[in-house]
Amino acid sequence: MAKRARAVRWGVPVAAVAVVAAAVGTGPVIAAVRSEPSLPDRTAEQLLADVARTWQTGRMPQMSGTIVETASLGLPSLPGLSGSSGGPGPSGGASMASLLSGSHQLKIWYAGEDRFRLMLPGEMSETDVVANGGTVWLWDSAANTATRLTVPAGSAGGHGGHDAPFPMRSGAASPFATPDQAARQALEAAGTDTAISVGDDVTVAGRAAYQIVLTPKSADSLIRDVRVALDGEKLIPLRVQVYTKGAAEPAFEVGFESLSFTAPAAENFSFTPPAGAKVEEGTATPPADHRPEAVAEAHDRGRVVGSGWDSVLVTSLPDAPAQKPDAPAQKPDAPAEKQDGKERGGLDVAALLDGLKGAATPVSGEWGSGRLLSTKVVSILITDDGRLLAGAVTPEALYRAAGVKG
Amino acid sequence: MSMGENGTAVSEARPLAREEAPVREERRPARPAPGPVRHLTRLLASEIGLTFRRPRNLAMLGVLAVVPVVVGIAVRVASDGDAGGSIIGQIAGNGLMLTFAAFVVMMPIVLPLTVSVVAGDAIAGEAAQGTLRYLLVAPAGRTRLLLVKYANVVVFCLAACALVAVSALVTGLVLFPVGPVTLLSGTTIPAAGALLRVGVVVLYAAAGMAALGAVALAVSTLTEAPIGAVATSVVLVVVSQVLSAIPQVAAVRPVLLTSWWGAFDGALRAPVAFDEMGRGLFAFAAYVLVFGSLAWSRFTSKDITA
């Protein structure tokens, strides 16, 4: 066979690879081509006002969709996400800590504040939160356990905390939030220290969306900006992206991958514990969550220095081995949030942690000495006198905070 | 040269070098000039006949059928009425779960191994036996031959997966009570609905195996040693499973064939996770396209000496 004919033949698989690559890339490409959806111009102020109005009425449209969360390396906390996490979409339960790394999927069916279902698919397993009226079921297929959580009167859709209908933990332990929650938190955190602008319109999950860009004014912040995509029509948040300084890809992203504003099927909200399943009662914590009180304790002992984007969590180190008898491999100097993440998050997070520990460098200065973990989105300082400082700020800001109390 | 003559040439030349004597009769065309499609189906039928009569392949299918029985008996012997939460644990409570458990157990290595043997042998095996030459007497035959070989692999994948399901179903019916099935979502569906979902699982698993078949077939065109093609294919499967297990390289997971095999569990959710399974099917199709075209390029341009 002639050489040329042979070369042509080998062009076919190359073309096949190109076709596949094109097909995989089609989504983003189409989105890019359509990236200027024609939405009426609005200033940031108008947009925020409209959003505030929409949220005050508290009526989220009925919808069902798939939310994808992507977190890059070592993101234990998003500033402003800690504390209250109100809104109808709770953080959905036991395996949430596994969301600290990689990309994860969450499906949502939403028919109203007290009628919704969240599904976290796993490999041959599933975690579900099904709310219907006053009853909330937490279903963990791997443990074959259904937990009935009764909603205390008046707190449905209220603010999170330990009395919330769902086992919501504060920021560090629940990095995952619905776009609604995340956007609300980001906007609430915005104050005098944030520049708010309207970015280019984008297409998210096939819908034209406004984009609000929140840029921290502080030079100490590791966050470059936070971009909130708001549906052009319904004004609900479709996506939240956190960009760090000097990174092209978002360090954290949560947004709808697919979304439809149709009423979800009623079957989604009717949960009956299957025969043979363990049924538990109460406002209990999820079964797989062994020691939530340890986290709560760590947070109770902590205090926040600074404000807004520069917030630094200062806490004394927990006595890890004593608090975690079920995690013998735990090193006593590990950060509190991360211990929790490791315990509940399984191997992925553990491996991640080991990597981070390896990256810890001894540092010292006027404030004292200790070890510093620095990731692109968070800095963690463990001082030799047993304090832990963490924040989405530069190490220098941590040193300053460490020097304040001495 | 007409198709009929091609067909005759292929059909008569090939069995000479093979052991299966009775096959020769079947391969002789009954009519003088079958059309191209007819010719293809005829060739495929004879391929399938060869595949399913080959003792080695029958032995592998036998193993596939036995594994669910072994799992069933093990659970039956071990279980003392305590139905655990895992899929294996649920078998004791419901025999239908054995079908899904069988796929959980066999998708990672047993099924891929079987498919690798058949697909890896497809071209390299003929080359090693010295029969490939005879198959290619027809001038326009290479593309068609490759298509037939691959179609045969697909049929085998489907048969293997169906066999696993049937064996598991029968074992489950015999050893355990059967009733409404609890899905991963906690929803309980009637047994008939569960059977439908078994069908979906079988089709999805077969598609996943067919994608591996395309890879093995491509490797098979590269060598004249069938064992090399089979081993390469199996090693590729194991390596990608190892890669899937390493968190640091999580980014490559969506690209790996093996990471989509497990998505058959979408059939066990309520509502059925068609989106996730659809993405899996897309990945399978991409593998078939890329490796199928690789196999084609290699096979149609290489010098066949054996």
pLDDT (tens digit per residue) in B239-253: 999 998 887 777 788
Say which residues have a Cβ less than 8 Å from residue A9's Cβ, sequence separation at least 6: B296, B297, B300, B301
How many angstroms separate the CA atoms of A342 and A346, rounded? 6
Judgement on whether residues A135 and A251 belong to the same structural domain of the protein: yes
Q: Which among A374-383, B179-188, B256-265 has the top mean pLDDT?
A: B256-265
Q: Does B286 touch chain A (CB under 8 A)?
A: yes
Closest residue of chain A to B263, computed from CA coordinates = A123
SS3 B279: helix
How many angstroms separate the CA atoms of A371 and A158, rounded? 39
Instruction: Please determine, for residue B113, whether its predicted confidence score (pLDDT) is greater than 60.
Output: yes
Average pLDDT for residues A254-259, to the nearest whole number?
A: 90
Judgement on whether residues A226 and A119 belong to the same structural domain of the protein: yes
Task: Select from B93, B296, B301 the Cβ nearest to the Cβ of A276.
Answer: B93
Judgement on whether residues A323 and A240 belong to the same structural domain of the protein: no
Average pLDDT for residues B145-161, to the nearest whole number?
A: 95
Average pLDDT for residues A18-43, to the nearest whole number?
A: 71
pLDDT at position A273? 87
A–B: how many Cβ contacts below 8 A?
109
Judgement on whether residues A146 and A267 belong to the same structural domain of the protein: yes
Judgement on whether residues A70 and A186 belong to the same structural domain of the protein: yes
With pLDDT > 90 as the criterion, what percentage of chain B qualifies?
56
pLDDT at position A352? 47
Judgement on whether residues A261 and A150 belong to the same structural domain of the protein: yes
pLDDT at position B294? 94
Report yes or no on B49 lying in a domain.
no
- Say if CB B132 and CB B1 are below 8 A apart: no
Task: Select from A101, A103, A142 the Cβ nearest to the Cβ of B247.
Answer: A101
Report yes or no on A351 lying in a domain.
yes
Closest residue of chain B to A279, computed from CA coordinates = B186
Say which residues have a Cβ less than 8 Å from residue A276's Cβ, sequence separation at least 6: A144, B83, B90, B93, B182
List the CATH number of the domain containing A217.
2.50.20.10
Task: Select from A12, A143, A276 the Cβ nearest to the Cβ of B296.
Answer: A12
| Contact state of A142 with B182 under an 8 Å Cβ cutoff | no
With pLDDT > 70 as the criterion, what percentage of chain A qualifies?
61
Judgement on whether residues A157 and A115 belong to the same structural domain of the protein: yes
Judgement on whether residues A239 and A108 belong to the same structural domain of the protein: yes
pLDDT at position A294? 44
pLDDT at position A28? 57
pLDDT at position A356? 52
| Contact state of A128 with B293 under an 8 Å Cβ cutoff | no
How many angstroms separate the CA atoms of B266 and B191, rounded? 18
| Contact state of A352 with B270 under an 8 Å Cβ cutoff | no
Task: Select from B85, B185, B266 the Cβ nearest to the Cβ of A142.
Answer: B85
Confidence band for A187, pLDDT divided at 50, 70 and 90: low
pLDDT at position A367? 81
Higher pLDDT, B26 or A213: A213
Higher pLDDT, B242 or A30: B242
Counted domains in chain B: 1
Mean pLDDT of chain B: 84
Confidence band for A402, pLDDT divided at 50, 70 and 90: confident
pLDDT at position A30? 58
Report yes or no on B263 lying in a domain.
yes
The ipTM value here is 0.76
Instruction: Please determine, for residue B112, whether its predicted confidence score (pLDDT) is greater than 80.
Output: yes
User: pLDDT tens for residues A53-108?
Assistant: 777 666 778 899 999 888 775 543 333 333 323 222 223 333 444 555 667 888 99
pLDDT at position A48? 75
Average pLDDT for residues B117-134, to the nearest whole number?
A: 90
How many angstroms separate the CA atoms of A356 and B8, rounded? 68
pLDDT at position B288? 96
Domain residue limits at B211: 54-301
Average pLDDT for residues B78-101, to the nearest whole number?
A: 75
pLDDT at position B233? 96
Judgement on whether residues A252 and A380 belong to the same structural domain of the protein: no
Judgement on whether residues A332 and A381 belong to the same structural domain of the protein: yes
Judgement on whether residues A156 and A263 belong to the same structural domain of the protein: yes
| Contact state of B293 with A16 under an 8 Å Cβ cutoff | yes
Average pLDDT for residues B178-183, to the nearest whole number?
A: 87
| Lowest-pLDDT choice from A164-178, B59-73, B142-156 | A164-178
Strands A145-150 and A278-281 come out as parallel
| Contact state of B187 with A274 under an 8 Å Cβ cutoff | yes
Nearest of A45, A102, A46 to residue A70 by alpha carbon: A102
Domain residue limits at A382: 292-405
User: pLDDT tens for residues A300-346?
Assistant: 556 777 777 788 888 776 544 333 334 344 344 434 444 443 344 34
Instruction: Please determine, for residue A373, whether its predicted confidence score (pLDDT) is greater than 90.
Output: no
Confidence band for A290, pLDDT divided at 50, 70 and 90: very low
- For chain B, report the end-to-end CA distance as a whole number of angstroms: 24
Higher pLDDT, A57 or A291: A57
Higher pLDDT, A295 or B199: B199
Counted domains in chain A: 2
Judgement on whether residues A238 and A318 belong to the same structural domain of the protein: no
Report yes or no on B71 lying in a domain.
yes
Whether the model pTM is above 0.80: no
* Residues of A with Cβ-Cβ distance to B293 under 8 angstroms: 12-13, 15-16
pLDDT at position B161? 97
Q: Does B85 touch chain A (CB under 8 A)?
A: yes
Average pLDDT for residues A109-138, to the nearest whole number?
A: 88
| Contact state of B293 with A142 under an 8 Å Cβ cutoff | no
Task: Select from B84, B185, B300 the Cβ nearest to the Cβ of A128.
Answer: B185
How many angstroms separate the CA atoms of B102 and B74, rounded? 12
Report yes or no on B242 lying in a domain.
yes
pLDDT at position A168? 34
* Residues of A with Cβ-Cβ distance to B268 under 8 angstroms: 124
Tell me which of A261, A281, A301 is where a domain ends: A281
Closest residue of chain A to B288, computed from CA coordinates = A16
Q: What is the DSSP letter of B188?
A: E
Q: What is the DSSP letter of B180?
A: P
pLDDT at position A403? 80
Tell me which of A281, A307, A333 is where a domain ends: A281
Instruction: Please determine, for residue B6, whether its predicted confidence score (pLDDT) is greater than 70.
Output: no
Report yes or no on B199 lying in a domain.
yes
Tell me which of A254, A281, A308 is where a domain ends: A281
User: pLDDT tens for residues B201-239?
Assistant: 999 999 999 999 999 999 999 999 999 999 999 999 999
Instruction: Please determine, for residue A207, whether its predicted confidence score (pLDDT) is greater than 90.
Output: no
The angle, 0 to 180 degrees and rounded to 10, between the axes of the packed helices B191-222 and B97-106 is 20
